[in-house]
Amino acid sequence: MAILEAPFQLDNNSQPWTPVADGLRRQVLAYGPDMMLVRVEFEQGGIGARHQHVHTQITYVESGVFTATVGEETREMRAGDVFYAASNVWHSVECLEAGTLLDTFSPMREDFI
Amino acid sequence: MAILEAPFQLDNNSQPWTPVADGLRRQVLAYGPDMMLVRVEFEQGGIGARHQHVHTQITYVESGVFTATVGEETREMRAGDVFYAASNVWHSVECLEAGTLLDTFSPMREDFI
């Protein structure tokens, strides 16, 4: 894919939002072959269903309150908190108070573009 | 290094801050072999001097106002803005109004731990 041959920096204020599920949507902010940054906006009650993928993921809570489960561990997360999900580790989030997560993936999520 | 054998998730509120230069300091939030998330706090006037590294970098402006130069391009960045610096691309930032950047690197910055 041509788009993988050069890193791509987006004008993120004009990037489209993609619905993910009831109460959450995502916006790709930047990516290159080995990393992608995605903003995920949640309404209260929005659920990122339990899933896994080969990509390593670091998630940063920009705002809101969430319950996150990574592997066997569940914790409440607020602004400034972070979780790390290694390759193929199952993870999920539930939004307790509306807010935004920043998800970074390595390598990039080709399925998001 | 043993620490590279397993992803490492930090209790980021208790992580140490490392001075980087006058007016800026960093805090490692999470990392594994292929990715690291670092919070960088700037006072007004703080300068992240022009540098390059093999790691791909995505930087997200959490708060504050910055001037960032990546390669030959310079732009003003505010909360929610992002830049992408590919491997070995020269980049720098100057803080115009105090705030915080989130830097993600791939692979992890071994020199930061």
Residue type, B5: E
Mutate to test the interface with B, among A82, A91, A105 (most CBs of B within 10 A): A82
Instruction: Measure B81 CA to nearest chain A CA, in Å.
Output: 7
Mean pLDDT across chain A, nearest whole number?
Answer: 88
* Tokens 């540098």 -> residue: B51
Interface of B with A (CB under 8 A): 6-10, 12-13, 29-32, 34-35, 37, 39, 56, 58, 60, 62, 70, 80-84, 86, 102, 104, 106-107
Rounded mean pLDDT of A59-81?
93
Tell me the backbone φ, ψ of residue A14, rounded to 5 degrees.
-110, 5
* Tokens 């700037």 -> residue: B42
pTM to 2 decimal places? 0.90
User: Residue B58 in contact with residue A35, Cβ under 8 Å?
Assistant: yes
> What is the C-alpha separation between B13 and B36, in angstroms, rounded?
16
- Whether the per-residue pLDDT at A46 is higher than 90: the answer is yes
Q: Give the angle A25-A30-A34 at the CA atoms, nearest 5°.
A: 110
For position A95, what pLDDT does the model report? 98
Give me the residue from B29, B84, B102 closest to A32, CB to CB: B84
Rounded mean pLDDT of B21-33?
93
Residue B46 — pLDDT band, cuts 50, 70, 90? very high
Q: Which of B7-11, B23-27, B71-75 has the lowest mean pLDDT?
A: B7-11
> What is the C-alpha separation between B66 and B64, in angstroms, rounded?
7
